Amino acid sequence: MFMTRRSSLTALAIAGLTASVSPAIAQQDASQPAWAQGRPESMQGAPLSPHAAPLTVTPEDQIPVDRLRLPDGFSAELWAHGMPGARMMALGDEGTLFVGTRSIGRVYAVTDNGESREHRIVVEGLTQPNGVAFKDGSLYVAAINRVLRFDDIESQVANGEIGEPEDLTEAFDLPDDEHHGWKFLAFGPDGRLYVPVGAPCNGCDVDSETHANIRSYAPDGSDMQIVARGVRNTVGFDFHPETGELWFTDNNQDWLSEHWPNDELNKVTEPGEHFGFPQCHAHGIVDPERGEAGACDDVTLPVALFDPHSAPLGMRFYTGDMFPEDYRNAIFVARRGSWNRSLSVGFDIQLAMLSEDGSRAGTSPFMVGLHAPSENDFLGRPVDVLQMPDGALLVSDEQNGAIYRISYQAPDYQAQ
Amino acid sequence: MTGVRTGLVALSIWLAMPSGMADTGPAAGKPLEEQIAICGGCHGEDGNSTQEAVPSLAGQPPLAVTNQLIYFRERLRQSGIMTPQAQGLEDSAIQALADYYAAQPVASSSTTRDDTLYDQGQGLASQHGCSSCHQPDYSGQRQMPRLAGQREDYLNKAMKDYRDRRRGGPDTTMIEIMTGTPDEDIHALAHFLAHLEAD
């Protein structure tokens, strides 16, 4: 079994393990786990805490692909599985799919022979290697706090031997806070690598030059620029296929309420503009503790809202030919689903349709079936979406370590 | 996920590894009964440990044992003893072991109860809200371990290891909770939890 294999990278990875929690943050709120920061006294006994993702392989017959529901004409199949914790996805030029994780510390590579898929582990033993991106033959991996580059990675995967990566950690010089320290990675149309740095807290005052921002770098980690400020915790973004603008999801503060603040879909118009955290949330709610009157006046408000705590993460514009014309330049958004609501919500793929001028978007469900509202339970947790060259859409399910492929064939209603 | 090519991957990576990294643990690949005997050498055949600072596994929620074994196997949690032991254990073997220990009855504590210390620990546990995750009877749930009836010396060690950041692993919840907790509070908590009668 692949489980027994260890690359020499493991030793390298272990060296990074001692930097777990930032002492400065932990001491601010001693005796509270990070996720409980801001929990009011009245909620102390409430049965609300993050759902830990399984670290073990989900047997194929227990993967809920048959429960997925989509609009007519669309169908879902199980494309790859057996990869505990599968989250963010990046596609190589030769078709290798790279998949990041959090707790289990691995990055997987999936290869497709046209009929079936195989996967293997590219690197393991890292601290939350969530971010993966591919450019010019190289795989970029972002963990807490490490940035690694694997050159000529698709040949390495094909040859079955993964060599030592280039360690770009020092060049990127990212904060090593554990709280919201996991990264999403994507290359922009400008060839630069975009990296978010989340707020190291649930809610706290932050220096917008160091935290709660989105940055871009030259691929070697030089020339850092701040692209967006006041962004609490984005774990997914993409660039508009025509305008090149950066659009991103953002996860809002916990424990303020069951019903607010909503999570967000945002658009960057001016480099460096401020999106509100921690003073202003969602569609213009002043933070009761940190915001003053007028705190929302000079910040950029979202293009669209998602249900509070529903955790919109990976998002991509659709530019393929397979789906109907309606879907062109619309955004698929994976919602991992809530934990900070007594009535759960999310666990689906939403579609965001943009207004003509791109200043607003409306959202509606695209893929459902993993949420069981009547049981207040869930069967899977979508984290990322990725368009394949043929126009099909891949969806990663962290709960089941699985990747689904969604394809389309126009329904023939007359034939029924 | 398997196949000829994957086999070659195993070989080539194995050859590239520094010495000592390739070993599998003694229980890897063995039938469950033999694995239980091997683990029982320290943790007790029935999962009730009789060795100093070695945790009892009896009555633990299956996911608590599963996750820790996977942290050891993935080298995400470092222990001179357990990290090597866990190498090569398959997910299904880990889950079978966890199910076995979950079903074993918890033995009574072998140390003498001190009522003052017990009461002090009970008050601290309530004050810290330990039961909100570990359950009101401290039997644990999901990945949160059973504390009731655990060895007192082990509870002391585990809480101090978290506090002093000697115990790693992806789940940092307990590190954050234990930060700054004085030794005397840990001693009282450990005494109370160890002497809490199991259901």
Residues in B closer than 8 angstroms to A128, CB to CB, are: 170
B48-67 residues touching A, CB cutoff 8 A: 63, 66-67
Query: How does pLDDT run across A214-258, given as a tens digit for each residue?
Result: 999 999 999 999 999 999 999 999 999 999 999 999 999 999 999
Number of domains into which chain A is organized: 1
d(CA A354, CA A169): 37
pLDDT category at A310 given cuts 50, 70, 90 is very high
DSSP track, A392-406: -EEEEETTTTEEEEE
Smallest CA–CA distance from A5 into chain B, residue: B10
Residue A30: predicted pLDDT: 54
Total CB pairs under 8 A between chain A and B: 146
Residue A262 lies in a domain: yes
- How distant is the alpha carbon of residue A317 from its chain centre? 14
pLDDT category at A178 given cuts 50, 70, 90 is confident
Q: What is the mean pLDDT of residues A121-139?
A: 97
CATH number, domain of A399, equals 2.120.10.30
Q: Cβ of B127 under 8 Å from any chain A Cβ?
A: no
Q: Cβ of B124 under 8 Å from any chain A Cβ?
A: no
Q: What is the mean pLDDT of residues A132-158?
A: 97
Q: Cβ of B136 under 8 Å from any chain A Cβ?
A: no
Residue B7: predicted pLDDT: 37
| Residue A21 to residue B12, Cβ atoms within 8 A | no
Query: How does pLDDT run across A326-359, given as a tens digit for each residue?
Result: 999 999 999 999 999 999 999 999 999 999 999 9
Residue A416: predicted pLDDT: 61
| Closest CA of chain A from B71, distance in Å | 8
Q: Tell me which amino acid residue A338 is.
A: S
| Closest CA of chain B from A117, distance in Å | 7
Residue A243 lies in a domain: yes
pLDDT category at A179 given cuts 50, 70, 90 is confident
Q: Cβ of B18 under 8 Å from any chain A Cβ?
A: yes
List of residues 6+ apart from A307 with CB closer than 8 A: A262, A263, A338, A345, A346
Closest partner residue to B1 (CB to CB) among A2, A55, A104 is A2
Residue A173: predicted pLDDT: 96
What ipTM was assigned to the predicted interfaces of this complex? 0.84
Closest partner residue to A5 (CB to CB) among B14, B76, B168 is B14
| Closest CA of chain B from A161, distance in Å | 6
Domain membership of residue A278 as a residue range: 66-409
Residue A206 lies in a domain: yes
Query: How does pLDDT run across A159-175, given as a tens digit for each residue?
Result: 999 999 999 999 999 99
Residue B116 CB-half CA count within 13 A = 1
Residue A144 lies in a domain: yes
Instruction: Please say if the pLDDT value at position A22 is more than 70.
Output: no
Cα separations in angstroms, A211 against A56, A136, A194, A265, B189: 33, 29, 14, 19, 37
Closest partner residue to A49 (CB to CB) among B133, B168, B174 is B133
Q: Cβ of B177 under 8 Å from any chain A Cβ?
A: yes
Residue A391 lies in a domain: yes
Residue A145: predicted pLDDT: 82
Smallest CA–CA distance from B88 into chain A, residue: A4
Residue A237 lies in a domain: yes
Residue A75 lies in a domain: yes
| Residue A27 to residue B180, Cβ atoms within 8 A | yes
Residue A390: predicted pLDDT: 98
| Residue A3 to residue B173, Cβ atoms within 8 A | no
Q: What is the mean pLDDT of residues A179-183?
A: 91
Residues in A closer than 8 angstroms to B165, CB to CB, are: 18, 20-21
Angle B62-73/B91-102 helices, nearest 10 degrees? 140
Residues of chain B with pLDDT under 50: 1-21, 199
| Residue B12 to residue A104, Cβ atoms within 8 A | no
Q: Going from the N-terminus, what domains does chain B have, and what CATH number goes with each?
A: 23-102 (1.10.760.10), 115-195 (1.10.760.10)
Residue A45 lies in a domain: no
Residue B169: predicted pLDDT: 78
Residues in A closer than 8 angstroms to B87, CB to CB, are: 4, 6
Of the listed ranges A49-53, A75-79, A273-277, A298-302, the least confidently predicted one is A49-53
d(CA B139, CA B141): 7
